[in-house]
Amino acid sequence: MQAELADKPNVIDPIALRGAFGTFVTGVTVITTRDAEGRPRGMTANSFTSVSLDPPLLLVCVGKSAASSPAFQASGHFAVNLLRAEQTHVSNLFASKSGDKFASVSHDTVHTGAPVLADCLTWFDCTVHDRVDAGDHMVLIGRVQAFGTSPSAPLGFCRGRYAEVKDPLPPGWLASHGMAAGYLVEAQGSVLLVKDGARGWVLPSAPRRLANGRLPISGGDELELLPDDTFLYSVFDIDGSDSGYLIYRARLAQPRAGDELPNLPHGFQFFPLDQLPYDDIASVEMRSMLRRYVRESSLGRFGIYMDSHDGGRVAMVSAAQPWARHP
């Protein structure tokens, strides 16, 4: 009788078990990959952990019922994007059944081709090391090929809701990537803005300065910029943000004068310089920079702004002169 009782599995209430699992405080991640057609796919997940430093391994668990599960099952690479405290809207977006989750979220590719979300807390770009079948989930083990992090506060999750994590930064800890790169892209007298995931607009951004002159926008699409018309325009901090900002002024390689503006994915829009939605741009610093840009555009002369404790400095440059080439 004792042997029979020992072999008989206990009946576990899955709802109660989920609640018990939920008492473990975790961070929140968005895991991303590309499907067979090259389209970006992603989902919110909090079942993430480090596995090994040598070799560098991590794991995430992907629910088999998730719409993007087949993409993670087939792809040879993926990225894990840890969210910061101000990104609950990003978490909610990727937990939803939205048809195009990437339309209003800036992202880039770094090493493997998996989408890396701009301005997240930390990201890991991985190749698939192994897959393990585990009940209603697949354990996806990744080998880290590249990563980046910042000193922002993490987005926490506990008992089925978001949780606040206080004082997450140890003394002396520094960001590995302390600056965010934004792009002030002009075409036909209009400036490109992107939805910020809430109710406002921001400049399109990338995790670093573009090396190939192509700005990733959405769905794997890119905008080609004119290299001779791309230069540093402004360097500043935003109050309440841990990252500083490098803003580059740029022009589209296409269209030429008189041509129509290109069709853009949902969440991206060109605004004429006299119709910029200042009231829907949350950052005072960003609004001030755009107003300066409109003023300087009317004069045909542009400056480079450097923030400082006493109000900053502007050095004027001439955009009409070609840049000197140095070996």
Q: Give yes or no: residues 200 and 158 share one domain.
A: no
Length of the chain: 327
Both structure tokens of 146? 């590249």
- Per the domain annotation, does 92 fall within a domain? yes
Q: 32: closest CA among 85, 68, 64, 67?
A: 68
pTM: 0.53
- Selection from 10-24, 57-71, 162-176, 241-255 with the highest mean pLDDT: 57-71
Do the Cβ atoms of 83 and 32 come closer than 8 Å?
A: no
Q: Check if the beta carbon of residue 152 is closer than 8 Å to that of residue 165.
A: no
* Cβ atoms of residues 222 and 216 within 8 Å: yes
Lowest model confidence (mean pLDDT) among 49-53, 143-147, 266-270, 310-314: 310-314
Residue that terminates a domain, selected from 136, 163, 190: 163
In DSSP terms, 181 is beta-bridged to 206, 246
Report how far residue 312's alpha carbon sits from residue 171's, in angstroms, rounded to the nearest whole number: 28
Cβ-proximal residues to 149 (8 Å cutoff; 6+ apart), any chain: 121, 122, 123, 175, 176, 177
Domain count, the chain: 2
Contact 320, 300 (CB under 8 A): yes
> What are the Cα distances from residue 165, in Å, to 157, 159, 245?
9, 14, 25
CA-based R_g, the chain, Å = 23
Report the C-alpha gap between 200 and 194 in whole angstroms. 8
Which CATH number belongs to the domain containing residue 227 in this structure? 3.90.79.10
Do residue 215 and residue 296 come from a single domain? yes
Residue-wise pLDDT tens digits, 198-240: 567 888 876 556 666 777 775 557 788 887 677 788 887 766 5
Do the bridges between strand 268-272 and strand 190-195 make them parallel or antiparallel, or are there none, so unpaired?
A: antiparallel
Residue 167: count of CB within 10 angstroms of its CB: 6
Residue where a domain stops, chosen among 163, 196, 217:
163
Domain assignment of residue 212, given as a range: 179-317
Residue 78 DSSP SS3: strand
Q: Is 96 found in the same domain as 194? A: no
The CATH number covering residue 82 comes to 2.30.110.10
* CA dist., res. 66 & res. 62, Å (int): 7
Instruction: Say if residues 266 and 219 touch (Cβ distance below 8 Å).
Output: no
- 215 and 111 housed in the same domain: no
Q: What is the tens place of the pLDDT at every residue in 121-140? A: 888 889 999 999 988 889 99
- 172 is a domain residue: no
The pLDDT confidence band at residue 259, using thresholds 50, 70 and 90, is: low
